[in-house]
């Protein structure tokens, strides 16, 4: 059975982020080229450092403790713990720095936010959080 995106939410600390609509977990691995004259004309690589980030967007909440925590961490330039979990509490957790935090205030629509959370350190799998 496929997992529904609507069931996956972002937590800041232990509180779900208000107004959230979408979230994308990005994961990537750098590679190191190890090609030599003995690789038969093909380039070879080995895995190196991994990194991860989360892009999230939503409706700008009037008041929300987790949104306030994001603003505080952004303004202070400090890391904050987040989790991206499904309805059963299964998913991923790690510390992030906020690298992008636009707030949009269109005159003919609802106010929205988007945020880029750059992982710092390991991304760990969690269950039942």
* Boundaries of every domain in the chain: 5-126
Per-residue model confidence as pLDDT tens digits over 42-80: 999 999 999 999 999 999 998 899 999 999 999 999 999
Entry pTM? 0.91
Position 110 confidence tier, pLDDT thresholds 50, 70, 90: very high
Looking at residue 120, its pLDDT comes to: 98
Residue 41 tokens read as 């004309």
56-88 in b/e form (b: 16+ CB < 10 A) is: bbbeebeebebbebbeebbeeeebbebbbbeee
Position 93 confidence tier, pLDDT thresholds 50, 70, 90: very high
Is domain 5-126 given the CATH code 2.30.110.20 in the classification? yes
Checking if the pLDDT of 3 tops 90, the result is no
């Amino acid at each position: 059975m496929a997992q529904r995106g609507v069931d996956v939410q972002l937590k800041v600390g232990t509180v779900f982020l208000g107004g959230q609509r979408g979230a994308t977990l990005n994961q990537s691995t750098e590679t190191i080229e190890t090609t030599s004259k003995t690789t038969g004309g093909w380039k070879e690589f080995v895995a190196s450092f991994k990194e991860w980030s989360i892009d999230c967007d939503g409706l700008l909440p009037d008041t929300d403790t987790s949104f306030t925590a994001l603003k505080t961490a952004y303004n202070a330039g400090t890391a904050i713990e987040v989790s991206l979990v499904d309805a059963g509490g299964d998913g991923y957790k790690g510390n992030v720095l906020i690298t992008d935090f636009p707030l949009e205030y269109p005159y003919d629509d609802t106010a929205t936010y988007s945020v880029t959370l750059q992982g710092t350190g390991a991304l760990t799998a969690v269950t039942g959080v």
